[in-house]
Amino acid sequence: MKHILICGGRNSGKSILFERLLNDCRVPLYGFTTGITTTREDGYHEIYMFPVRGGDRTEREENHVGSCNMKERTVNIPVFETLGVKLMEEARPDGILCMDELGFMEAKAPAFCRKVLECLDGEIPVLATVRDGMPEIEFLNRVRSHPGAECWHVRPDNIDELYETLSPIIERWNKR
């Protein structure tokens, strides 16, 4: 079993494909998703981490992972190191561990990065979105090249094709 990494740049369709595949899951889902607020007048938007399904989706300091615009960012490392790690540790063999999205912000959160790589070494299936590019970020390089995972590169014009390819894998995960 190879873990599924949906890779792509900004606005490539990673989260769209991720959500379509989640809708096919009939087993428990563990892990996290991120949510982005509307861009403020100063060009920044806030990013929050939430449980993948259910749970409280309130935007609070405890789940605020950071703020960014196209050039600068602030990162709240303790949220990755506490909430992010906790949500991954809750994964059980009866389900799928979901991570939407792995990108540049968490690269400076060592406990979080170790946990992601540990999960990719494990037996619980992982469905994740991963930011493409950024070769200078070693964490992302290690995730994308992990021997237990396969990268699927998404673009707006191949979302349906990738869905048709990946949906049978999700179906096998449902039956294990």
User: 143: closest CA among 134, 130, 155?
Assistant: 130
- pLDDT at position 7: 97
**Mean pLDDT, range 35-41, rounded to an integer:** 78
Q: Which residue has tokens 């060009």?
A: 43
Distance CA 99, CA 27 (A): 16
pLDDT of 21 higher than 80: yes
pLDDT of 38 higher than 80: no
* Confidence band for 54, pLDDT divided at 50, 70 and 90: confident
Model-level pTM? Answer: 0.94
Q: What is the mean pLDDT of the chain?
A: 93
pLDDT of 62 higher than 70: yes
* Confidence band for 55, pLDDT divided at 50, 70 and 90: confident
Q: Kindly state which CATH superfamily the domain 3-37+50-55+77-175 is placed in.
A: P-loop containing nucleotide triphosphate hydrolases (3.40.50.300)
**Mean pLDDT, range 123-137, rounded to an integer:** 93
Distance CA 116, CA 143 (A): 8
- pLDDT at position 1: 63
The domain locations on the chain are: 3-37+50-55+77-175
pLDDT of 51 higher than 90: yes
Higher pLDDT, 84 or 176: 84
Count CB atoms within 10 A of the CB of residue 75. 18
pLDDT of 92 higher than 70: yes
Distance CA 144, CA 142 (A): 6
